[in-house]
Amino acid sequence: MLGLPLGLLLAFFTIGAMVKAFDSWRAPFFIAAVPGLILAVFMFYIKEPKRGAAETVQVSQERVDRPIRRVLAVPTFLWLVLAGLCFNFATYACNSFLVPMLQRYFLMPLQDAAVATGVIVGLTGLVGLTLGGWIADKIHQRVANGRLLFAAFSLIISTVTTAWALHAGRVEIGVFVALFSVGWLFAYNFYTCVYTAIQDVVEPRLRATAMALFFAGLYLLGGGMGPVVVGALSDHFAHSAMYAAGAQQMTEAYKAVGLHDAMYLIPVALFLTMLFLFQASRSFVRDAKRMKEGLSAVEVPAAAATA
């Protein structure tokens, strides 16, 4: 999972230099295709693990009837999908518009704005994932639904600090970066807590289906809608600012106000993520117990057959 913040860090730290070197904003897209092609080659050499190999009880290898319906029947999973949808809405909106907002609202050069964004969304992840994962595991050892409660608590901090950074207005850029970075540092606990929680409530034979449905919600809906909605809202607020000023022509100043105000959707989406995580924590213990009992039931016939 550290590949995510490392990739973001590398991308934002180099994108300004790439645009400047090639004098084109299209250049980074072509360059980004190279590691993707290399990764595709390596994927052919990854061996598929046996389902249930990590479980302590025997796992049935029989075909599951109506797998999608079985997965969607797990309440915790449904809450986590909703949480993931809102979370990816926030992250993709942030990744798409934080650089232009820093340029327009704080009048930063492209390269400086990209580096600041790299610190906010990339550097924080290296700490957040490593330390957050360790803390989440320690809490889980003491409290059954501790991981999800820890994630919900983390999203409260993320909501408050990102909203605070935006509400502070044109403060010193270092203050904005620091506040937003704290929010993103805690937001990374979503990954360390939610991905493991899904494995705890879905049986091994259905985990691939569960992750497919989960990522479909994250990227097709959350990730796909985040930039679109924030972009549309940015245009709306920009025109509202222009009309309020009695102006007839759109300027960068109005665009700056519009994009800044539209970015408030990020803490709103993070707040909704927190609510859904809290709901998931309420049903987690029951669903995890049901999954384990289902696995144990498979072992009984096998033991009886050898008696």
SS3 readout for 140-171: HHHCCCHHHHHHHHHHHHHHHHHHHHHHCCCC
Q: What CA–CA distance (Å, rounded) separates 20 from 16? A: 6
Do 137 and 9 form a contact (C-beta atoms < 8 A)? no
- Mind listing the pLDDT tens digit for each residue in 232-256? 999 999 999 999 999 889 999 999 9
Task: Quick: pLDDT tens for 39-88.
Answer: 899 988 888 776 656 555 555 556 667 888 889 999 999 999 999 999 99
pTM, to two decimals:
0.86
**Residue whose tokens read 């106000």:** 257
- 3-state SS, residue 219: helix
- pLDDT band at residue 305, thresholds of 50, 70 and 90? very low
Nearest to 259 by CA among 99, 49, 69: 99
Q: For the chain, report the end-to-end CA distance as a whole number of angstroms.
A: 45
Residue range 160-184: average pLDDT?
93
Q: Which pLDDT score is estimated for 198?
A: 94
The Cα–Cα gap between 286 and 305 comes to 30
What are the φ/ψ torsions at residue 73 (nearest 5 degrees)? -80, -5
- pLDDT digit string, tens, across residues 85-136: 999 999 999 999 999 999 999 999 988 999 999 999 999 999 999 999 999 9
- Given a contact cutoff of 8 angstroms between Cβ atoms, the answer to whether 268 and 57 are in contact is no
Write the CB contacts of 176 (distance below 8 Å, at least 6 apart in sequence): 106, 165, 168
Cα separations in angstroms, 119 against 125, 136, 181:
9, 23, 7
238 in Cβ contact with 254 (< 8 Å): yes
pLDDT value of residue 51 = 61
Instruction: Provide the pLDDT for residue 27.
Output: 84
Q: What is the pLDDT of residue 67?
A: 82
Question: Taking the alpha carbons of 152, 155, 160, 161 in that order, is the dihedral positive or negative?
Answer: positive
Cβ partners under 8 Å of residue 68, min gap 6: 209, 213
Q: Comparing C-alpha atoms, which of 23, 107, 88 is closest to residue 223?
A: 88
Q: Which two tokens stand for residue 286?
A: 């029951």
- What's 68-298's CATH class? mainly alpha
Q: Is 45 exposed, middle or buried (0-12, 13-18, 19+ CB in 10 A)?
A: exposed
pLDDT in tens, 4-29: 888 888 888 888 788 878 888 788 88
Q: What pLDDT, on the 0 to 100 scale, is given for residue 307?
A: 47
Domain ranges of the chain: 68-298
